[in-house]
Amino acid sequence: EVQLVESGGGLVQPGGSLRLSCAASGFTFSSYWMHWVRQAPGKGLVWVSRINSDGSSTSYADSVKGRFTISRDNAKNTLYLQMNSLRAEDTAVYYCARDLVCDYWGQGTLVTVSS
């Protein structure tokens, strides 16, 4: 069974940093592209970033470019999102999703940026 479990969310002050993790199981993690998608409270889905299967290629939404870094450790079956210079508008539930079509999603982890 495919499982994606996010962790690392929490309350952080503006300007602070946080690293999210997404632990994958039930499939060959190293064979799949992976995404991060976020959803602000009461709002729609917004794509954040994606990474190819071996980590050599990444893409970012303009709103996070230069502040967020996506990475992966295929030996640990884990996807990461390093978030720096956090802003109030980054407050959201962050989901990881598998493959180019986002065929499986985790349950999400809530990031709250507030003083």
Partner 1 sequence: QSVLTQPPSVSEAPRQRVTISCSGSSSNIGNNAVNWYQQLPGKAPKLLIYYDDLLPSGVSDRFSGSKSGTSASLAISGLQSEDEADYYCAAWDDSLNGQVFGGGTKLTVL
Binding site for partner 1 (CB under 8 A): 35, 37, 44-47, 50, 59-62, 95, 97, 101-108
- The least CB distance from residue 50 to partner 1, in Å, is 7
DSSP-assigned letters across all residues of 72-93: EETTTTEEEEEE-S--GGG-EE
86/97 with CB nearer partner 1: 97
Give the C-alpha separation, 44 to 41, whole Å.
Answer: 8
Give the C-alpha separation, 104 to 41, whole Å.
Answer: 21
35/72 with CB nearer partner 1: 35
User: Which uninterrupted H or E stretch holds 31?
Assistant: none
- The least CB distance from residue 35 to partner 1, in Å, is 7
Question: Are 94 and 109 within 8 A, CB to CB?
Answer: yes
54/103 with CB nearer partner 1: 103
- The least CB distance from residue 92 to partner 1, in Å, is 13
